[in-house]
Amino acid sequence: MNFETKTLKTWCSVDLNAIAHNYNHTKSKTDSRIICVIKANAYGHGAVPVARRLVKEGCDFFAVSSIEEALELRYGGIKCDILIFGYILPERIPEAVENDISFALASCEFASVLCSISLPKKAKVHIKLNTGMNRTGFNICHSRGYEDLKKALVLIKASDNVSVEGVFSHFAKAENDRAFSDKQWGYFENAVDFIKKEGISPSLLHICNSAGTANYPEKHLNAVRLGINLYGCEANDASYIQAMEFCTRIVDIHTISEGDGVSYGLDFIADRKMKIAVIGAGYADGIFRCLSDGKGYVLIGGKKCPILGRVCMDMTMVDISSVENAKVGDVVTIWGKELPTEEQAKNAGTISYELMCSVAPRVKRVYG
In whole angstroms, give the CA distance from residue 252 to residue 158: 69
% of residues, the chain, pLDDT over 70: 96
Beta strands in 180-293 (DSSP E): 204-206, 223-226, 244-256, 263-264, 268-269, 274-279
User: What's the pTM?
Assistant: 0.94
Which amino acid, 9?
Answer: K
Tell me the DSSP string of 95-143. HHHHTT-EEEE--HHHHHHHHHS--SSPEEEEEEEESSS-SSSEETTSH
Q: Note the pLDDT of residue 354.
A: 97
CATH code for the domain defined by 16-231: 3.20.20.10
Does residue 262 carry a pLDDT above 90? no
Using H for helix, E for strand and C for coil, what is the string for 49-94? Answer: HHHHHHHHCCCCEEEECCHHHHHHHHHCCCCCEEEECCCCCHHHHH
Domain range summary for the chain, segments of one domain joined by +: 16-231, 244-367
Give buried/exposed letters for 233-248 (b at 16+ CB in 10 A, else e).
bbbeeeebbbbbbbbb
Of 23, 39, 231, 283, catalytic: 39
Q: Are 27 and 226 in contact (CB under 8 A)?
A: no
**Residue 264: active-site member:** yes
Fold type of domain 244-367 = Lyase, Ornithine Decarboxylase; Chain A, domain 1 (2.40.37)
How confident is the model over 169-186, as a mean pLDDT? Answer: 96
Angle at 25 between CA 22 and CA 26, to 5 degrees: 90
Of the listed 23, 43, 240, 264, which one is catalytic? 264
Percent residues over pLDDT 90 in the chain: 90
Closest to 181 measured CA to CA, from 192, 166, 168, 171: 171
What value does the mean pLDDT take over residues 75-94?
97
Band of residue 2 on the pLDDT scale cut at 50, 70, 90: low
140: confidence class by pLDDT, cuts 50, 70, 90 = very high
39 is catalytic: yes
Model confidence at 168, in pLDDT bands (50, 70, 90)?
very high
Mean pLDDT (whole number) for 311-327: 95
pLDDT, position 236: 86
The Cα–Cα gap between 364 and 98 comes to: 33
Mean pLDDT across the chain, nearest whole number? 94
